[in-house]
Amino acid sequence: MEWYTCLEHYHRTCITLTDLVVGNEYYFRVFSENMCGLSENATATKDSALIIKEGMNLKIPEYTDYDFNEAPHFTQPPSTPLLSLATTPRSTAASAPTPDRRCSSQKPPVQCLPLFLCSRPQPKVIWMKNKMMIIDDPRYRMFSSQGVCTLEIRKPSPFDGGTYTCKAINDLGEAQVDCKLEVKGGFTFCELMTRGVPLHLIDKYMNEAKNTEPERK
């Protein structure tokens, strides 16, 4: 606090001060003086004097913060509930492998299932296949970024067909959406073996492929 002298050698007990700055707050103290000098202690005002300009009072409105939290919900479920992955037709292989059978090396296909999700706080996303949770399976990769949940299926085969469920959970609720995937195409026996398809499913697939060939002709 900075003090400055506004009047000296004044003989009255009351005074009116002018030229005070609007918006400033002032404290006052008074010394008594005689022929011997000033008093050691001064009398100070208990309350301050705030110079307010009329008509300039600003009342700040109170705003309530908007709650952006919401339960998970899928904004755009799959428009087509049945997703088909077609591959290039191949000649049907035998039902058992032979030592001199060779497989053509091609870039493995990938099937992605994207879903659009709104949620705050960020939810926990769970993917399931036929009501069974997908955990630590190298054939699947799961992504969740900026409201898009994606399941990537590497080297899809008939074994990967089924109903996939995406489930999102946070503190406010949960939501889930189903998507049916059907894999179609002329896979060879060697391709299905390298993709880890069980033998009983390979035999079933090969028999179905043989039965459908006469119908196509």
Domain count, the chain: 1
* Between 159 and 162, residue with greater pLDDT: 162
What average pLDDT does the segment 188-207 reach?
77
% of the chain surpassing 90 pLDDT: 14
Confidence of residue 69 (pLDDT cuts 50, 70, 90): very high
Asked if residue 129 is part of any domain, the answer here is yes
Question: Which of 26-40, 83-97, 176-190 comes out lowest in average pLDDT?
Answer: 83-97
* 76 contacts 177 by C-beta, under 8 angstroms: no
* 125 contacts 168 by C-beta, under 8 angstroms: yes
Question: Which of 37-51, 130-144, 202-216 comes out lowest in average pLDDT?
Answer: 202-216
Confidence of residue 202 (pLDDT cuts 50, 70, 90): confident
The per-residue pLDDT for 87 is: 43
Question: Which of 23-37, 97-111, 123-137, 149-163 comes out lowest in average pLDDT?
Answer: 97-111
The per-residue pLDDT for 104 is: 41
pLDDT above 90 (res 217): no
Return the amino acid letter for 32: S
Burial of 135 (0-12, 13-18, 19+ CB in 10 A): exposed
Angle subtended at Cα 124 by Cα 120 and Cα 180, rounded to the nearest 5 degrees: 110
Domain assignment of residue 120, given as a range? 70-93+106-216
The per-residue pLDDT for 91 is: 30
Mean of pLDDT over the chain? 77
pLDDT above 60 (res 82): no
- Domain containing 190 — which CATH number? 2.60.40.10
Confidence of residue 56 (pLDDT cuts 50, 70, 90): low
Q: CB-based contacts of 123: which residues, under 8 Å, 6+ apart?
A: 72, 117, 168, 169, 170, 174
Q: Which of 11, 60, 2 is nearest to 34 (CA)?
A: 11
pLDDT above 50 (res 142): yes
Q: Is the peptide bond before 121 cis (omega within 30 degrees of 0)?
A: yes
pLDDT above 70 (res 7): yes
The per-residue pLDDT for 54 is: 72
Asked if residue 141 is part of any domain, the answer here is yes
Asked if residue 43 is part of any domain, the answer here is no
* 161 contacts 182 by C-beta, under 8 angstroms: yes
Asked if residue 116 is part of any domain, the answer here is yes
The per-residue pLDDT for 78 is: 66
Q: CB-based contacts of 213: which residues, under 8 Å, 6+ apart?
A: 92
The per-residue pLDDT for 171 is: 93
The per-residue pLDDT for 192 is: 75
